[in-house]
Amino acid sequence: MKIALIGYGKMGQAIEQIATAKGHEIVLRIGIENLEDFTLENVARADVAIEFTSPHSAVHNIRKCIDAGVAVVSGSTGWLQHWNDVKDYVTYKEGALIYASNFSIGVNLFFELNSFLAELMSKHENYHVALEETHHTQKRDAPSGTAITLAEQVMQKIKTKKVWVNHISDNEEELEIISERIDPAPGTHKIKYSSAIDDIEIIHTAHNRQGFASGAVMAAEFLCGKKGIFTMKDVLNL
């Protein structure tokens, strides 16, 4: 498989290491120092593009790869207000896209656990639920895309929570997400249910970027040769 890396920071380099170890070829590496090389002709050399950039450039990057006829695995977060437009564009162009707020296999299993626990806890109104997430100081968005996904899962099951907020709140309709940025911290997410009697919490802690990178390569392998829009649930058959 030939891969274009759109975003060649620490995550892109971790993806390259895993992809090449599995026998894949990196045919294009795009970072801030060589944006002029991000052309349709260059992207078209790849079978799949793996895109990890910023909220401000993700939509443009995805569209450009789709225009080049290349499937896209996107792990950029903070741009989902444009999701419907991107989804319609990919469908119109008969392209292929996987977006995930987190490609880690462990995190995607954690998503399933979070949804199941929220359903159980929805029957017990004496528990207060809140989220916490901790990342390194270079993390540009807060809360993290993973935290937002977790919060949305909770709100799907616990109907008293109407909206998530990124601060401490005493409004019972608001679901708190508390964000911290400290170094070094690849990523920790916690969902805590508290009552006067006891606490129940689930935690996922990433030790490094390898889990994210491995999942992104797995997603690219799954997407290669396909058309349509998929999720990590499809990749992992969850």
Q: What pLDDT was estimated at residue 136?
A: 86
Domain that holds residue 111: 105-205
**Number of domains the chain contains:** 2
The closest alpha carbon to 144, from 192, 185, 201, belongs to 185
Q: Mean pLDDT across the chain, nearest whole number?
A: 95
User: Which are the catalytic amino acids?
Assistant: 135, 139
Residues 135-158 have pLDDT tens digits of: 988 777 789 888 999 999 999 999
CA 180, chain centre distance (Å): 18
Residues 87-126 have pLDDT tens digits of: 999 999 999 999 998 899 999 999 999 999 999 999 999 9
Please report how many Cα atoms fall inside a 13 Å half-sphere around the Cα of residue 176, on the Cβ side.
Answer: 18
Q: What pLDDT was estimated at residue 186?
A: 76
70 and 143 both lie in a single domain? no
State the CB neighbour count (10 A cutoff) for residue 155: 18
99 and 191 both lie in a single domain? no
Distances (CA, A) of 18 to 1, 24, 100, 145: 13, 9, 19, 23
131 and 187 both lie in a single domain? yes
92 and 137 both lie in a single domain? no
Please report how many Cα atoms fall inside a 13 Å half-sphere around the Cα of residue 229, on the Cβ side.
Answer: 14
84 and 200 both lie in a single domain? no
152 and 72 both lie in a single domain? no
137 and 86 both lie in a single domain? no
The total number of residues shown for the chain amounts to 238
Q: Give the pLDDT band of residue 234 (cuts 50, 70, 90).
A: very high
77 and 128 both lie in a single domain? no
21 and 53 both lie in a single domain? yes
CATH number at residue 68: 3.40.50.720
99 and 111 both lie in a single domain? no
User: pTM for the complete prediction?
Assistant: 0.82
117 and 200 both lie in a single domain? yes
Exposure string for 180-203, b = 16+ CB within 10 A, e = fewer: eeeeebbbebbbbbeeeeeeeeee
Q: Is the pLDDT of residue 47 over 90?
A: yes
CATH number at residue 116: 3.30.360.10
Distance (Å, whole) CA 7 – CA 33:
10
DSSP tag of 191? E
194 and 110 both lie in a single domain? yes
40-69 average pLDDT score: 97
